[in-house]
């Protein structure tokens, strides 16, 4: 089954390829009668332009890539997949395609990006989980290739980004906890080369200071962003001499692990010890108990990111597109007053 090409169409209509092409692409110098003939013949013969040829000729890719950092991340994370959904929404509305790129090593990463931007396969990329100092961003900038980043690196004035005010979010959560009487609040963080992770830790520090709570390194844990890591970090803390009365986690998946550790010790979250997650995953409504969390709508983020990227590809100034949103505290069941007496 051979595909019908431009030439086939032209022959069938007794026109030239160039005329048919222009008719299809809405050029003004084609009579409306011809345009109609061409269009109906096109659907009749099932003509679909060969994208490779088209892109070779025009230079526009009609596709964007989502690239996710190599380690500690997986396409299977709810965070990621929801974002993906949002990106796809926007991109496909324009008829473009979505490519996902997930590399497993750092060199692989740079290599993949380089390949992406030089191969002509995509017209732009959205970056996720930037590092504080992100080589990928530099690479993209140097190549002058359209991109947006979900989050920010340390220096963020020169490109497009969409971020949540991480510091504020954590401060909000901590203040809530303090309001509930907590003074000993553990922090379950993520690797600090992720800027969002760094910022959240900053927020934690700031919130402590604001509330005259001394910094205590022994109750901050830096872990991978999954449930198992959250669980063992919490286990650490709960089994210590002076366990915290609350946990602030930088992700819901970690918080879910924390919850497991709490249950495993016969305690109940929200009563014996509080925990606040981060992400607002839907699944949090069904954990045991339902998870209080800082919520940021990922799918919406994805859509906005894609829209920004598309605009930039169309020529917009990237620095015009810098959006800072705030996370929202959604109260469920894992926050509660600090126990007057500790559970020990």
Q: Are 67 and 126 in contact (CB under 8 A)?
A: yes
Residue 15 interacts with, from its own copies, DNA, none (CB under 5-8 Å by kind): DNA
CA 151 and chain centroid, separation: 8
Nearest approach, Cβ of residue 95 and DNA (Å): 13
Q: Which of 5, 87, 104 is nearest to 308 (CA)?
A: 87
Q: Nearer to DNA by C-beta: 35 or 222? A: 35
DSSP states along 99-162: EEEE-SSHHHHHHHHHHHHHHTS-SEEEEES-BSS-HHHHHHHHTT--EEEES--S--TTSEEE
Partner from DNA, its own copies, none binding residue 99, C-beta < 5-8 Å depending on class: its own copies
- Measured in Å, how far apart are the chain's first and last C-alpha atoms? 75
Check residue 31 for interaction with DNA (CB under 7 A): yes
Would you count residue 115 as binding DNA (CB under 7 A)?
no
Chain centre to alpha carbon of residue 262: 29
Count of C-beta atoms within a 10 Å radius of residue 331? 11
Question: Nearest-5° angle of CA 230, CA 231, CA 237?
Answer: 90
- Backbone angles phi and psi of 295, in degrees to 5: -105, 135
3-class DSSP assignment, residue 304: helix
Residue 114 binds DNA, judged by CB under 7 A? no
Q: Which tokens sit at 339?
A: 């126990």
Q: Is the dihedral of CA 301, 304, 310, 312 positive or negative?
A: negative
With binding defined as CB under 7 A, does residue 15 bind DNA?
A: yes
Residue 271 structure tokens: 């009563």
Of DNA, its own copies, none, which one sits near residue 135, judging by CB under 5 to 8 A according to partner kind?
Answer: none
Task: Report the residue from 121, 184, 205, 325 that binds its own copies according to the rule CB under 8 A.
Answer: 121
String of contacts with DNA for each residue 49-88, x by CB under 7 A = xx--xx-xxx------------------------------
82 lies in the binding site for its own copies (CB under 8 A): yes
State which of residues 286, 320, 326, 331 lies at the interface with its own copies (CB under 8 A).
Answer: 286
Binding to its own copies by CB under 8 A, coded x per residue (else -) over 49-78, reads xxxxx-xx----x-x----------xxxxx
| Site residues (vs DNA, CB under 7 A) | 5-7, 14-19, 21-22, 24-25, 27, 29-34, 47, 49-50, 53-54, 56-58
| Site residues (vs its own copies, CB under 8 A) | 1, 3, 46, 48-53, 55-56, 61, 63, 74-78, 80-82, 84-85, 88, 92, 97-103, 114-115, 118-121, 142-144, 227, 256-257, 259-260, 282-283, 285-289, 299
């Amino acid at each position: 089954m051979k595909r019908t090409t431009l030439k086939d169409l032209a022959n069938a209509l007794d026109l030239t390829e160039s005329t048919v092409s222009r008719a299809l692409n809405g050029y003004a110098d084609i009579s409306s009668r011809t345009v109609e003939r061409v269009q109906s013949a096109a659907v009749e013969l099932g003509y679909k332009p060969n994208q490779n040829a088209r892109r070779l000729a025009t230079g526009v890719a009609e596709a964007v890539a989502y690239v996710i950092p190599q380690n500690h991340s997986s396409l299977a994370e709810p965070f990621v997949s929801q974002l993906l959904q949002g990106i796809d929404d926007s991109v496909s509305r324009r008829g473009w395609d979505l490519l996902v790129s997930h590399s497993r090593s750092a060199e692989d990463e740079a290599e993949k990006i380089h390949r992406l931007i030089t191969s002509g396969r995509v017209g732009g990329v959205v970056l996720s989980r930037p590092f504080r100092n992100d080589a990928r961003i530099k690479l993209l900038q140097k190549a002058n290739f359209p991109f947006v980043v979900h989050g920010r690196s340390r220096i963020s004035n020169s490109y497009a980004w969409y971020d949540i005010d991480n510091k504020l979010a954590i401060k909000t959560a901590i203040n809530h906890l303090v309001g509930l009487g907590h003074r000993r609040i553990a922090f379950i963080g993520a690797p600090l080369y992720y800027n969002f992770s760094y910022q959240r830790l900053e927020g934690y520090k700031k919130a402590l200071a604001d509330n005259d709570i001394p910094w205590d390194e022994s109750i901050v844990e830096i872990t991978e962003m999954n449930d198992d890591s959250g669980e063992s970090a919490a286990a650490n803390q709960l089994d210590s001499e002076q366990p915290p009365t609350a946990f602030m986690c930088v992700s819901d998946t970690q918080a879910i692990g924390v919850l497991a550790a709490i249950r495993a010790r016969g305690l109940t979250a929200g009563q014996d010890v509080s925990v606040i997650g981060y992400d607002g995953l839907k699944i949090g409504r069904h954990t045991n108990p339902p998870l209080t969390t800082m919520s940021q709508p990922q799918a919406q983020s994805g859509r906005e990111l894609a829209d920004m990227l598309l605009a930039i590809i169309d020529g917009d100034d990237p620095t015009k597109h810098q959006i800072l949103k705030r996370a929202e505290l959604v109260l469920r069941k894992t926050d509660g007053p600090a126990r007057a007496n500790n559970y020990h």
